[in-house]
Amino acid sequence: MSKNFVSNSKESTRMFQSNFFEALSKVHFSVPLIIYLPLIAYYSYQAIAVAALSLMSFLLYFLLGIIIWSLTEYLLHRFVFHFVPKSKWGLRMHFIFHGVHHDYPNDAKRLVMPPSVSIPLAFGFYGLFSLILSSAHLYAFFPGFVAAYLFYDISHYALHHFHFKNKFWKKLKEHHMRHHYADAAKGYGVSSSFWDKVFGSDFKHQHS
């Protein structure tokens, strides 16, 4: 397959003429932790202390949130981030949302989702889940969903910048690096390769 442009630069190209919007497009990897760890604690407290959800129910809905995020991560990456429109405007949007990361995979400030994107998404998902779940169950489910998102965001940074000796992390890093440097149409799972195996987009399904 033809190789696309990939830079080894530690910084990516400027995306916006406006300094304000350019600043919004970059974020230190610690920022999601600062924003979302308190949110996880708050909703967990609401579920257990205020809504009086049993520990078992809390853990089950928290786990369900983790599972739903992992599927959401896969679907977003495969069908939204890797959807390439043909229009000039569409191509520009694709580059802003994900193309820049594939062109400049070593840019440390464009590896985690900026709050300008993640916060509106969090509100949107919360609103969606509130239509399906009762308040008590939502308070347990949502922190699991957000915790799994945090794991995805921070592990994505780590996969690009850390060297691992642990078998789990080495395997996960290999999976993601193959997505970047071998075939971007495979290996959409970042925090897990599970859904790639389920939907046949894992690298072992690639035929020569």
Q: What is the pLDDT of residue 181?
A: 87
Q: What interhelical angle do 135-161 and 115-130 show, nearest 10?
A: 150
Q: What is the pLDDT of residue 184?
A: 86
Sketch the domain layout of the chain as residue ranges.
27-163
Q: Do residues 160 and 154 lie in contact, with contact meaning Cβ atoms separated by under 8 Å?
A: no
pTM of the model: 0.85
All residue ranges of the chain with pLDDT < 50 are 1-3, 5, 205-208
Between CA 123 and CA 131 the distance in angstroms is 13
- Provide φ and ψ at 23, rounded to 5°: -65, -35
Q: Do residues 144 and 69 lie in contact, with contact meaning Cβ atoms separated by under 8 Å?
A: yes
- Cβ burial of 150 (10 Å; 0-12, 13-18, 19+) is buried
Q: What is the pLDDT of residue 8?
A: 57
Q: What is the pLDDT of residue 136?
A: 96
CB neighbours of residue 158 within 10 Å: 16
